[in-house]
């Protein structure tokens, strides 16, 4: 099966589909893959486009070079883009704009219909860390590290990092990482549960692809319901989660994938899932 290259509209974001795995690569290595006015909208749109592709069973997000994503491009934060006589947006307008940007990136990623993996070849900082945390699974190179980074530029944080990090490691540890912006190396991140797997630097691309391929070979409908169940568990009570599980199990029981899995078990072979 050949690799399909996806046109994202910019060289700052690459995407291909291979064996039901879509790999999205943030491609500004000279800026440590910092977000930009070209890269970020393309990432939003690509995530949206991949949701409905039946030939994609898992998504890997990674960065080119030796970084995952350094967050916002600090060099572009000094302003000066608008003409001197142009109207400046109000604080309320800026807030609404940022909320919309966050919901169409972090929320879209966290609630994505497909399982997602962040593959970190190096640093994930600021909003780049938020993107990694919004993925379902994180696999990192041994030399990778994370930092909240916001305090270093006088920011409080955005793109959901404070919520996502708190869900993983609790409020006290999250405050430590936000207040100090210290670097958390791969071994500590693994111990804290921020990383699911750490591999040798040279092994990261193949290890991430093999993990994604294994996930992508599973039953798509059931995997989607699994993600929904676990996401609901973060904010829901046990009673509502039990009801959701019961509903989704009933739906799974009616799928062709469930029947294929039972038949394959009885025939002592691997099931072939179709997403129906």
- DSSP for 228-265 reads HHHHHHHHS-HHHHHHHHHHHHHHHHTSHHHHHHHHHH
Fold of 220-266: Lyase 2-enoyl-coa Hydratase; Chain  A, domain 2 (1.10.12)
pLDDT in tens, 124-163: 999 999 999 999 999 999 999 999 999 999 999 999 999 9
Fold of 4-216: 2-enoyl-CoA Hydratase; Chain A, domain 1 (3.90.226)
pLDDT averaged over every residue in the chain:
95
The domain ranges of the chain are: 4-216, 220-266
Q: How far is CA 32 from the centre of its chain?
A: 17
Tokens of 27: 């491609």
pLDDT in tens, 81-125: 556 677 888 999 999 999 999 999 999 999 999 999 999 999 999
Any idea what DSSP says for residue 107? I
The whole-angstrom separation of Cα 171 and Cα 153 is 22
Residues of the chain with pLDDT > 70, as a percent, come to 96
Tokens of 117: 């993996």
Helix count (H) and strand count (E) of the chain?
11, 11
The whole-angstrom separation of Cα 135 and Cα 132 is 5
Look at strands 145-147 and 184-185 and give their pairing.
antiparallel
Query: Can you give the pLDDT at residue 253?
Result: 96
State whether residue 227 is helix, strand or coil: helix
Q: Quick one: average pLDDT of 194-221?
A: 98
């Amino acid at each position: 099966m050949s690799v399909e290259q996806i046109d994202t509209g910019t060289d700052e974001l690459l995407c291909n589909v291979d064996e039901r795995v879509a790999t999205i690569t943030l491609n500004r290595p000279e800026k440590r893959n910092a977000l930009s006015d070209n890269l970020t909208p393309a990432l939003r749109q690509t995530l949206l486009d991949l949701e409905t592709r039946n030939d994609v069973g898992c998504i890997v997000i990674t960065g080119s070079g030796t970084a995952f994503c350094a967050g916002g491009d600090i060099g572009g934060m000094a302003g000066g883009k608008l003409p001197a006589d142009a109207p400046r947006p109000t604080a309320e307008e800026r807030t609404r704009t940022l909320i919309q940007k966050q919901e169409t990136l972090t929320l879209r990623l966290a609630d994505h219909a497909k399982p997602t993996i962040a593959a970190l070849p190096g640093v994930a900082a600021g909003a780049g860390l938020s993107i990694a945390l919004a993925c379902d699974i994180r696999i990192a190179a041994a030399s990778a590290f994370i930092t909240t980074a916001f305090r270093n530029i006088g920011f409080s944080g955005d793109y959901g990092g404070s919520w996502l990090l708190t869900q993983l490691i609790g409020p006290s540890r999250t405050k430590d990482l936000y207040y100090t912006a210290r670097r958390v190396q791969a071994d500590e991140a693994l111990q804290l549960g921020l990383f699911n797997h750490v591999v040798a630097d040279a092994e990261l691309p193949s290890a991430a692809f093999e993990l994604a391929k294994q996930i992508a070979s599973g039953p798509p409908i059931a995997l989607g319901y699994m993600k929904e169940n676990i996401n609901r568990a973060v904010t829901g009570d046990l009673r509502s989660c039990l009801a959701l599980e019961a509903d989704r199990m009933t739906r799974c029981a009616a799928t062709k994938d469930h029947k294929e899995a039972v038949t394959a078990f009885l025939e002592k072979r691997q099931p072939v899932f179709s997403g129906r």
